[in-house]
Structure 1
Amino acid sequence: MARPSHSHVKHEGASLTDAARDVLLNDGEQWTEMRAQVFDVLAEFTKPASAYDIAEQLGKMLGRRVAPNSIYRILDLFVAHNLALRVESRNAYLANDHPGCIHDCIFLVCDDCGATTHIDDDETGKTVRKAASQDGFRVKRPVIEVRGQCTACSEA
């Protein structure tokens, strides 16, 4: 799904929700109340959140049980439209703070505290794509995760 050229703007709070909604609507999808609630809950997490984490938090807000299966479907939609990023090794998700941008990214995953950040690195992505295509492999999107220790944990 190619996007037109853009300025790289990171969003937070209401601006992030507005940007996510705009991307989904521009892609021809609906921005339902449930999708908005799931996105807002996901965006509140400071570490990657599982569908179960999101369902639990959303259930507390709504005062009723929310099935993780419905959360997974919404998260899959968010990942497909670049509103969320999936941290494969954790089977968890982060809200993409610049949802209008498509980049290959590298996740930095702290083994001690679980903090995960991502770095946009199109050059590394190009290298991975080239190596894969030379082997006849068709790449959808590289997922690179670097495990180690974040700055806060290494200074503790």
Structure 2
Amino acid sequence: MASAHKHHEHSGEGLIEEARSVLLAAGEQWTEMRADVFGALAQRERPASAYDLAESVSALRGKRVAPNSVYRILDLFVRTNLARRVESANAYLANSHPGCQHDCIFLICDVCGQAVHIDDDTLTGALVAAARQAGFADVRPVVELRGTCAACS
């Protein structure tokens, strides 16, 4: 049986406060723009692109926000574990447990676009071990499975 990773899931204001704490602990600043981008990301149920988020933050702020600025913030969020990047969609999801480091496995619905993450440290650990055995260092598993979610099947 696979080893599931246990952690506390955050949502709403609790998620935003946890993200703020994690970013500050990483030595970064929690600016208004970063708060707005994270808030827009946290409200999404499906992966969002930097363009989607730039549009949301632009509407919130009443002035245009460049997607490039949002990309830089998203890169920071991924580096500090506040967000996860769904590689195949070039889109992002807020990490509901930002204080917990582990590799995620994404299940992506081809019909509705929903992305659900599951944790299986045994599987991702085996992938890292195999990569290291092949001579790779600093390995970060990116596992995405595509199919149809229960609601769409």
Same fold (TM > 0.5) = yes
Q: Deviations over 1:68-123 (max 9, x none)?
A: 00000000000000000000000000000000001111000000100001011111
Q: Where do 4+ consecutive residues of structure 1 move more than 6 Å?
A: none
**Hey, what's the Cα distance between the residues in 1 that align with 2:66 and 2:142?**
27
**Hey, what's the Cα distance between the residues in 1 that align with 2:32 and 2:138?**
34
**Hey, what's the Cα distance between the residues in 2 that align with 1:126 and 1:14?**
32
Mapping 1:73-112, distance limit 5 Å: 73-112=72-111
**Hey, what's the Cα distance between the residues in 1 that align with 2:64 and 2:117?**
31
Mapping 1:23-42, distance limit 5 Å: 23-42=22-41
**Hey, what's the Cα distance between the residues in 1 that align with 2:138 and 2:56?**
35
Q: Deviations over 1:54-76 (max 9, x none)?
A: 00111111111110000000000
Instruction: Pick 1 or 2: higher relative contact order, CA cutoff 8 A, min separation 6.
Output: 2
Q: 5+ residue gaps in structure 2?
A: 1-5
- How many matched pairs? 148
Q: Shift in Å at residue 140 of structure 1?
A: 3.1
Q: 5+ residue gaps in structure 1?
A: 1-6
**Hey, what's the Cα distance between the residues in 2 that align with 1:140 and 1:102?**
14
> TM-score with structure 2 length normalisation?
0.94
Alignment-derived partner of residue 49 in structure 1:
48
Code of the aligned partner of 2:47? P
Q: Shift in Å at residue 127 of structure 1?
A: 0.6
**Hey, what's the Cα distance between the residues in 2 that align with 1:65 and 1:108?**
33
Alignment-derived partner of residue 3 in structure 1:
none
Code of the aligned partner of 2:83? A
Alignment-derived partner of residue 4 in structure 1:
none
> TM-score with structure 1 length normalisation?
0.93
Identity %: 62
Q: Aligned with 1:146: secondary structure?
A: strand
Code of the aligned partner of 2:20? R
Q: Deviations over 1:15-49 (max 9, x none)?
A: 00000000010111100110001000000111000
